Structure 1
Amino acid sequence: MLKSRPDRYGSVAVTSHWLTAILIVVALGSGFQADQATDSSSQAGFLRVHIPVAITVLLLTLFRIVWWWRFDRKPMPVEGPPPWQERFARFVHVAFYIVILGMVASGIGMMVLSGAGPTIFGGSGVLPDFHDYPPRVPHGIGASLLVVLLVFHAGAALYHQFVLGDGLVRRMWYRR
């Protein structure tokens, strides 16, 4: 079942969701580590993970947007929760897309303005201080927003699973 049904997500949506989630955690972790690194070599090592993972998140996000827009329909909302929760869930999902796209744009901006790409992927030289470049501010804000969105998203999923017991999480897993 590649496409979603009214009661559950299809395998394309499930795979892209969980793969994106894992890669976002890796991108955040490597990005925070790069920001805290005290020497250029360590920072470059973290960025050699961070940048390709972030590009993969971008590609998956663009794929997901096109998938939902042209090829699939999301399942119906679960019954029971108040309408404000459904609206908040939609807001969080849209915010994920906006923040991810903004993070990639600001990351590309930092790479272009700083010229750090050859140093990161060439393996020699000293990296610039990324805090000196204007895209660093929205990139940092975006990272914090992404963490907040992840906490809300995971918290809501756990609430539905363990407090409400409404099977919402099961909808976002592969069918047995």
Structure 2
Amino acid sequence: MKSGSIAGYSAPQIALHWLIAALVLFQLVFGESMSVALDAAGEGEAVSASDASLASAHYWIGIAILVLVGLRLALRLTAGAPAPQPSGTPIFDRLAHAVHWLFYALLVAMPVTGLLAYYVSPEIGEVHEIGKPVFILLIAVHVAGALYHQFLLKDGTLRRMLVPSR
């Protein structure tokens, strides 16, 4: 099914959006524990129970995000997605399109680089860490766009990510 050929998102698509968003937020807030735990272990120091638990959660949540993003992309390909609401400003429309696809790229790249850093080469961790400020920037732009559509354009864009249409 093609993008734009449906009126709104399905309940599973909306649930995946918000679940992935919550998991990413957890990763952004608590992800430093992975570095702390790995650094301590590498220096032969004891890892605190909280850092060990949060590092383990970071690992497994990263894998969960990768799996859920795969499911979300599969749903997008099979169920489709509604056409974006035009903002009236072509550059904003292009920016919105780019931000959405950068999110998908980052949602795949972050878990993959994290796993590669853990299993292949710790140096890849530096690439992985660059993703955090990029994620924060994308989230800020995404939220600003959603609020712009909701409160200035009043076009119902935000409602599409809150209320299933099918």
What is the TM-score with the length of structure 2 in the denominator?
0.81
How many Å separate the matches in 2 of 1:48 and 1:157?
33
Does 2:7 match 1:7? yes
Match of 1:147 in 2: 136
Gaps of 5+ in 1: 115-132
For the residue of structure 1 that corresponds to 2:31, the secondary structure is: helix
Match of 2:68 in 1: 60
Between the two structures, name the one with larger relative contact order (CA 8 Å, sep ≥ 6): 2
Determine if contact 1:35/1:43 at 8 Å carries over to the other structure: no
- For the aligned residues, what is the CA RMSD? 2.3
What is the TM-score with the length of structure 1 in the denominator?
0.77
Give % identity.
30
Match of 2:58 in 1: 50
Determine if contact 1:30/1:49 at 8 Å carries over to the other structure: no
Distance 1:73 1:175, change over 3 A: closer
Segments ≥4 residues shifted beyond 4 Å: 36-39
**Deviation of residue 33 (structure 1)?**
4.3
After superposition, residues 18-29 of structure 1 pair within 5 angstroms as 18-29=18-29
Match of 1:111 in 2: 118
How many Å separate the matches in 2 of 1:166 and 1:74?
17
How many pairs does the alignment contain?
A: 154
Distance 1:113 1:77, change over 3 A: closer
Distance 1:80 1:96, change over 3 A: closer
